[in-house]
């Protein structure tokens, strides 16, 4: 019995109220939140929600291909409900992440491309966002 349940978990995502709340929060969310961010918001509505539930749900959604896990922030994993191909830019001061459209002209050197089946690429830009620049100037 347990095995069957486990098997189904991979293909069919049980839509419990807690999981639905997480999905709802992520729908159209472009802020690339961390598990902590998501927990902070969703646990306000669902007091019984544990951090483990949030974390496990994010892992399940990532494995199901419904969520993209970003490693651009060295401090914590960030999550993106937009699974289409695109790149990211991060402010190293405040951690804000912005989307960059896929079409940036970067190609693998020809001699490398010949011996490698390329499945995709992801470019990470990092720097200081405009509001952090202003804050630094004001000091
Ligand atoms: Zn910033
Ligand atoms: Mn994104």
| pLDDT one-digit tens code per residue, 49-60 | 999 999 999 999
Whether 22 and 63 share a structural domain: yes
Residues with CB under 5 A from ligand 1 (ion): 91, 93-94, 129, 132
Distance 31 CA to ligand 2 centre (A): 8
The ranges of the chain with pLDDT < 50 are: 1-10
Q: With contact defined as beta carbons under 8 Å apart, do 77 and 90 qualify?
A: no
- For residue range 25-34, list pLDDT tens digits in order: 999 999 999 9
CATH of the domain at 75: 1.10.10.10
Q: Nearest ligand to the C-alpha of residue 87?
A: 2
3-state secondary structure of 120: coil
Which of 3, 13, 14, 62 lies closest to 38 in space, CA to CA? 62
Whether 53 and 72 share a structural domain: yes
Residue 34: its pLDDT value, please?
A: 97
Q: 52 lies in which domain range?
A: 2-80
Q: With contact defined as beta carbons under 8 Å apart, do 66 and 12 qualify?
A: no
The number of distinct structural domains making up the chain is: 2
Whether 8 and 24 share a structural domain: yes
Distance 82 CA to ligand 2 centre (A): 6
With vertex at residue 34, the alpha carbon angle to CA 18 and CA 125, rounded to the nearest 5 degrees, is 145
CATH of the domain at 106: 3.30.1490.190
Q: Nearest ligand to the C-alpha of residue 130?
A: 1
């Amino acid at each position: 019995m347990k095995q069957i349940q486990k098997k189904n978990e991979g293909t069919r995502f049980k839509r419990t109220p807690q999981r639905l709340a997480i999905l709802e929060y992520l729908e159209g969310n472009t802020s690339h939140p961390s598990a902590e961010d998501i927990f902070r918001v969703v646990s306000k509505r669902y007091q019984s929600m544990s951090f483990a539930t949030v974390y496990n749900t994010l892992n399940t959604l990532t494995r199901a291909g419904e969520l993209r896990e970003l490693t651009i922030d060295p401090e914590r994993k960030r999550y993106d409900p937009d699974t289409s191909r695109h790149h990211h830019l991060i402010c190293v001061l405040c951690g804000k992440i912005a989307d960059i459209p896929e079409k940036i002209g970067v190609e693998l050197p020809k001699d490398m491309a010949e011996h490698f089946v390329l499945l995709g690429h992801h470019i990470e830009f990092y720097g200081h966002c405009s509001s952090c620049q202003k804050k630094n100037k004001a000091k």
